Structures are given as C-alpha cells and as structure tokens.
C-alpha cells in the first residue's frame, strides 16, 4: 500500500537497497524511504517490487524488459522513456540513461542521486548539455576525488580527458591535475588534446628573435608555428608530450598522444613558407625539420606495431622504441 501511495505522487527516481531492504525515492520534496518487509524470500520479494515498478513506469509487469537492456545500453533509448527508466530501481537502467544521447542536466541530477560511480560521472560529463550545466562541477569533483584510486591507466586517462573537454575543473584544479601528471604522465594526454595553448606549466619561453617574429607577423605559417613552439605554452606542450611519450602505459594512450601532437602542428599541413624561413634564418633548420616530423605524426604511425601485439607497459614501450625514439629527439630539438 505504501508503495502504491508513493507512486501515485510525483517520483523522479527510485533506488533499491537490497541489504536493508528498502526503497528510496527522489521526489520534488526531497528523499523518501520505505523499509521493505519481505513475506517470502527476499530475492523473490524484490522481484515482485521491481515488477510493480516496471508496471507503473513502463507498463511492463516483468520489470526492465530484456530488449530495452540492449538498446538503452547502446544509448538508443527514446527520450520519452528516460524519466520512466529512472523509476525502475534497476542499476542497469540508470547507467543506460547516463549514456543516452537525450540526457539533460536535470536528468543527470536524478541519475546521480540514483547511481553514484566513476562510470556514470564520465558518461554524463561527456554530454555537451551536462558539461554546460549545474551538474558538471559535481561530477568533476567526484572524478578528481576518486582519481588517485583508479589503477587502470586507460580509465584514469579518459577521466582526465572527459573533465578537460567539459571545461572542468577550475584553474586551481587544473594546476593540481597538471602536477599529478608529472607522476602519472597519461594525464597529460587530456591537456595536450584540449588545452594545447593554455597549459598550466611553468616552463619559460624560448627566445624567438626579431627576424622570426617579423616573419610570423607577416603570416609565414612555419614561422608562426615555430614562434608558438618557442612560447611558454609551447615549451610546456613539448615537455608534456615528451614525458607522456617516454612511458605510455597502454596502446590507447599512444594513439591519443600521437594524434594530439599531429593536431598541434596541423597549421603546417600543405603550408608554404618553410623554404623562405630556412633561407633567411638557417639557424632554425633543425627546429623546422622537427616541426615537419611532428606534423606528419598521427595514430596510424603506431598501428603497424600495436596491432600485431597485445603488450602493455614496458614490453609495449620496447616494441615502440623505433617509432618513439626519433619523435622524442624532435620534441627535444624544439625545447
């Protein structure tokens, strides 16, 4: 009876705690709790509760339908069904809503009440609307707090990438993450991807000289990119790329890193002006050659090596040495 009375009102999300057991509901007036008193085996009783919730939310007395499990997990749920899915008391349904394309900031708030985890935080923060909304800071704070306990380097790297892509955390938080990246270089990948010209590093700029500056001001793309490399942010980019490239932990980090380096030099693709710069300022020849090599760098450079092996860590790095060693030399030539 209490469940029927609760569901007759405005319920935004439902959470089942099987250990008590109890049902929690998020309503417009706050959180409600109903302690459950099984009159049969607890598992059987909770199945009946889920059947009641499924019948109320989706008209499906069997609970969370199997066909919906497949489609919603792929992010293909109908926007109209998202609110209803949060009333099922099913963890899988909540995670599905977190991944779906129709997620809004308000739905993110309800999802976060129903299921708090790093997976859910990353999934929701990756949505542009959530990244712009009120929930972004809450999700980023959670990810940062739990980041030290994430042992999987791929998961940790992706958490940082998602946060920075969403414009999180604030300047102080980014500085703290940058410092931690010196011990966990895979954090640098997100910075190189999303903040290539606004890195929080403290490396001083390298002198450009009057002649190089003049050519850059005149629109020579090679001079412009070289001046960018010599700037404080450019030097931080090069150093971070070097540190990340020295000890990548997983193939995904290598692919993302190589693409980030190549995008940084994207203005040089098909650009003229190198010959002019080489002729007028031959002392920059090695730096221009380094830029040319970096501009040709991308994930596909590593595919012939990584697609033939399942190695990770030091063994993977040993296999990558013929590719990585020349790239490191070019990165250092620009510093």
Q: Global pTM?
A: 0.88
Range of weakest confidence among 30-34, 70-74, 96-100, 172-176:
70-74
Q: Do 222 and 325 sit in the same domain of this protein?
A: yes
Give CA separation, 266 vs 99, 134, 176, 237, 323, in Å: 32, 34, 29, 15, 20
User: Which one of 72, 97, 115 terminates a domain?
Assistant: 115
pLDDT over threshold 50, residue 74: no
Composition of the chain by helix, strand, coil, percent to 5: 65, 5, 30
Residue 122 pLDDT? 97
The answer as to whether 24 is a domain residue is: yes
Mean pLDDT of 241-253: 96
Residue 232, pLDDT > 60, answer yes
pLDDT of residue 239: 97
Q: How far is it, in rounded angstroms, from Cα 163 to Cα 111?
A: 18
Residues 321, 217: one domain?
A: yes
**Residues above pLDDT 70, as percent of the chain:** 94
| pLDDT at res. 58 | 77
How far is 48 from 40, CA to CA, in rounded Å? 10
pLDDT given at position 68: 52
The answer to whether residue 61 is domain-embedded is yes
Beta 11-17 vs 30-35: how paired, if at all? unpaired
Q: pLDDT value at position 248?
A: 94
Token digits of residue 294: 């970096």
pLDDT band at 282 (very low <50, low <70, confident <90, very high): very high
Question: What average pLDDT does the structure give for the chain?
Answer: 92
d(CA 47, CA 53): 10
Nearest to 194 by CA among 249, 254, 240, 250: 240
- The rounded percent of the chain whose pLDDT value lies above 90 is 80
What's the pLDDT score for residue 64?
55
In a domain, 329, yes or no: yes
How many separate domains does the chain show? 2
Please check whether residue 309 lies inside any domain of the structure.
yes
3-state secondary structure of 150: coil
Nearest by Cα to 292 from 233, 221, 242, 240:
221
Least confident of 18-27, 50-59, 228-237, 281-290: 50-59
Q: What angle do CA 126, 132, 134 make, to 5 degrees?
A: 105
Q: Sign of dihedral through CA atoms 112, 115, 118, 123?
A: negative
Domain that holds residue 229: 203-333
Over range 152-172, report the average pLDDT.
Answer: 97
Q: Which whole number is the average pLDDT over 271-276?
A: 93
What stretches of 36-179 adopt beta strand conformation (E)? none
Between the alpha carbon of residue 78 and those of residues 75, 168, 195, 307, the distances in Å are 9, 29, 35, 37
pLDDT of residue 71: 45
**Is position 90 within any domain?**
yes
Residue 245 CA to residue 259 CA, distance in Å, equals 12
**What is the mean predicted confidence (pLDDT) over 83-95?**
90
Same domain, residue pair 324 and 207:
yes
pLDDT band of residue 319 (cuts 50, 70, 90) is very high
Give me the mean pLDDT over the 136-165 stretch.
97
Name the domain boundary from 115, 136, 153. 115
State which of 115, 132, 148 marks the end of a domain: 115
| Within-domain flag for 180 | no
Which of these ranges, 81-85, 110-114, 176-180, has the smallest mean pLDDT? 81-85
Q: Is the pLDDT of residue 247 over 80?
A: yes
Q: How far is CA 331 from the centre of its chain?
A: 25
Statement to judge: residues 107 and 211 lie in one domain: no
Tell me the average pLDDT across 112-139: 97
The C-alpha atoms of residue 139 and residue 111 are separated, in whole angstroms, by 11
Separation between Cα atoms, residue 87 and residue 29, nearest integer Å? 16
pLDDT band at 92 (very low <50, low <70, confident <90, very high): confident
Residue 131 in domain? no
For residue 283, the SS3 value is: helix
Residue 6 belongs to some domain of the structure: yes
Q: Tell me how many degrees the CA angle 249-253-255 measures, rounded to the nearest 5.
A: 135
């Amino acid at each position: 009876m209490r469940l029927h009375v609760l569901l007759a009102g405005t319920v935004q999300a439902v959470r089942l705690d099987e250990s008590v057991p109890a049902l929690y509901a998020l309503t417009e007036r706050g959180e409600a709790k109903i302690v459950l008193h099984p009159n049969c085996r607890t598992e059987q009783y909770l199945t009946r509760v889920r059947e009641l919730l499924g019948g109320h939310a989706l008209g499906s007395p069997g609970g969370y339908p199997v066909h919906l499990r497949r489609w919603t997990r792929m992010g293909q749920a109908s926007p109209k069904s998202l609110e209803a899915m949060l009333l099922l008391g099913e963890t899988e349904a909540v995670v599905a809503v977190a991944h779906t394309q129709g997620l809004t900031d308000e739905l993110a708030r309800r999802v976060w009440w129903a299921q708090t985890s790093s997976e859910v935080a990353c999934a929701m923060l990756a949505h542009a609307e959530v990244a712009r909304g009120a929930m972004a800071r809450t999700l980023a704070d959670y990810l940062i707090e739990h980041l030290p306990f994430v042992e999987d380097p791929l998961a940790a790297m992706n958490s940082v990438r998602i946060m920075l892509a969403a414009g999180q955390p604030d300047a102080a938080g980014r500085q703290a993450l940058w410092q931690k990246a010196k011990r966990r270089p895979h954090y640098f990948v997100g910075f190189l991807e999303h903040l290539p010209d606004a890195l929080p590093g403290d490396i001083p700029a390298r002198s450009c000289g009057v002649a190089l500056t003049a050519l850059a001001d005149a629109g020579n793309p090679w001079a412009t990119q070289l001046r960018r490399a010599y700037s404080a942010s450019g030097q931080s980019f090069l150093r971070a790329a070097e540190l990340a490239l020295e000890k990548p932990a997983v193939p995904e980090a290598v692919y993302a890193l190589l693409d980030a380096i190549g995008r940084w030099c994207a203005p040089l693709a098909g650009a003229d002006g190198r010959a002019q710069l080489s002729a007028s300022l031959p002392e920059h020849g090695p730096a221009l050659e380094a830029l040319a090599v970096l501009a040709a760098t991308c994930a596909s450079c590593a595919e012939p090596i990584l697609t033939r092996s399942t190695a990770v860590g030091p063994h993977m790095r040993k296999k990558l040495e013929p590719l990585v060693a020349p790239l490191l030399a070019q990165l250092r030539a620009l510093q």
